[in-house]
Amino acid sequence: MAEDDQDEDVGSGEGGDEGGKGGKKKLIILIGVALLVVIGGVATAYFTGLLDPLVKMISGAEDAGGEKAKEATPQTGEAVFMDIEEILVNLNTGGGRKPTFLKIKVALELADKKDEPKVVQLMPRVRDNFQVYLRELRVEDLKGSAGMYRLREELLTRVNVAIAPAEVKDILFKEMLVQ
């Protein structure tokens, strides 16, 4: 009878170990999922640009470049504008519909007057970037203020890439006609 009691204790001890192993497995899976969520959140914040100010602050790039940029920027408050010739493109209609045209005239607000000759020199590249982007737009992409905002942001990004290291602060719409 004493042996039977020992067998039951051993059996219950083994069952308790299996429950412990199952608990450890669950804990490891839970920690793994939590790490995955945290790493995914950090990666998302980094790629969307939410961490840029933090990265600049940690790397010290803002101290070194930020002060120089403030000194180089004219403090007069005088805006420098540069007109771009009118652009006329046919929009992407998806094939079946009759052609739709976009006529647009914009002005660039430059960050520094010294950048004007460089922008003039690179204007063919700027116009090409604009036309390639505008030809892919649909009429639906231009509807409403949200469409105008997206168009402004996209053109601003493209012009800044084309004229780097010079900088354009804003794109101003002078005329826009969809027909």
Give 71-118 pLDDT, tens digit per residue: 444 445 578 899 999 999 998 887 777 888 999 999 999 988 888 999
Q: Give the residue among 116, 105, 112 at the shortest CA–CA distance from 82.
A: 116
The confidence band for 26, taking pLDDT boundaries of 50, 70 and 90, is: very high
Find how far residue 87's CA is from the centre of its chain: 26
* Residue 46 scores a pLDDT above 90: no
pLDDT (mean) for 16-25: 67
Residues whose CB falls within 8 Å of the CB of residue 87, separated by 6 or more in sequence, listed in order: 102, 103, 104, 105, 127, 130, 131, 134
Higher pLDDT, 53 or 37: 37
- Give pLDDT, residue 41: 87
* Residue 34 scores a pLDDT above 90: yes
Residue pointed to by tokens 């990666």: 43
- Give pLDDT, residue 11: 46
The number of beta carbons lying within 10 Å of the beta carbon of residue 8 is 10
Higher pLDDT, 62 or 104: 104
- Give pLDDT, residue 124: 93
Q: Give the residue among 176, 149, 177, 172 at the shortest CA–CA distance from 83.
A: 172
- Give pLDDT, residue 70: 47
pLDDT (mean) for 38-54: 83
Determine the Cα angle at 5 with ends 3 and 7, to 5°: 70
